[in-house]
Amino acid sequence: MRMSWLFAGACIVSATCCAFGQGTPALAGAAQSSASPIAKLPEFEVASVKPSNPNQREMNGFYTYPGGRVVGKGCRLQYLIMVAFNIQRWQISGAPVWTDLITGDSYDIQAIPPASSQAAHLNPAIAKNPPSDEQRQMLQSLLMDRFQLRYHIEQREGPVYLLERGKGELRLSPPKNPNTFPWAGAVSGGWFGGGIQGENISMPQLAVRLNRFLERPVLDQTGLQGSFDFEYRNHDEQNDADITGFLLTAMKAIGLELKSSKGPIETIVIDHAQPPSSN
């Protein structure tokens, strides 16, 4: 089973940069404090936020459509913060219990940007393409309006991984389909059952994918440009029992290496949030 991932668009970040998910730099457009914004963020023209149907089974689904429309299904507030600021769960601090990524209150969202926005001209090939920087900023505005989200950003020293070229043979190949959705995941089932394979994925995108499972920032230091396919099979369906150990081994097998290091990690600290106002 392939597991979709949130942050496909990414840029190369040096080891000295703040480690913040390493996808599109949403925080560059975020206020350092929601109480004193640097500049007014763009907003959706029309937005609906309502509690999810109790019988809805989908959890934390976020989709983008032509014309800049975004749809969230079964979304917890922590998940929406992750999307809006392009961060991981462990980069959120102080969130109330009702916002929890798994057990928190669930909401459905639909929003459309103004016709004058850049987002209105977007035409994503597939619905699970990640939102643009502008759409992320619009989502930040929506959360501050409807959920009364108030936050500040702290920089904390913490462990990071550097993704580098290893000493062995580089086992990456040009993508068979350069138009397919960038992806990396299991060969057979679970997260990494049977091994790991990647399709049309760049090194910054791979770093983003890995940091979700390693629970610390992964900074791309490979210097490799473009997108790649790769595959590492160890035929072990129990890789998920020790994901960190598996990923360290798997990266070496394809000619890369994950090295432990230290670096500043930016964290969203939640000062206030409340259940959303009615539409």
Give the whole-angstrom CA distance, residue 174 versus residue 227. Answer: 7
Q: What mean pLDDT do residues 197-222 have?
A: 94
Q: Is the pLDDT of residue 10 over 50?
A: no
Q: Is the pLDDT of residue 11 over 50?
A: no
- pTM of the full predicted structure? 0.74
Q: Is the pLDDT of residue 15 over 90?
A: no
Count of CB atoms situated within 10 Å of the CB of 117: 19
Residues 242-265 have pLDDT tens digits of 999 999 999 999 999 999 999 888
Query: Where are the extended beta strands (E) located within 34-112?
Result: 46-51, 61-64, 70-75, 92-93, 107-112
What is residue 72's predicted lDDT score, i.e. its pLDDT? 97
In the chain, pLDDT over 70 holds for what percent of residues?
86
Across the chain, mean pLDDT equals: 87
Confidence of residue 130 (pLDDT cuts 50, 70, 90): confident
Give the whole-angstrom CA distance, residue 70 versus residue 72. Answer: 7
Give the whole-angstrom CA distance, residue 104 versus residue 100. Answer: 4
What is residue 125's predicted lDDT score, i.e. its pLDDT? 78
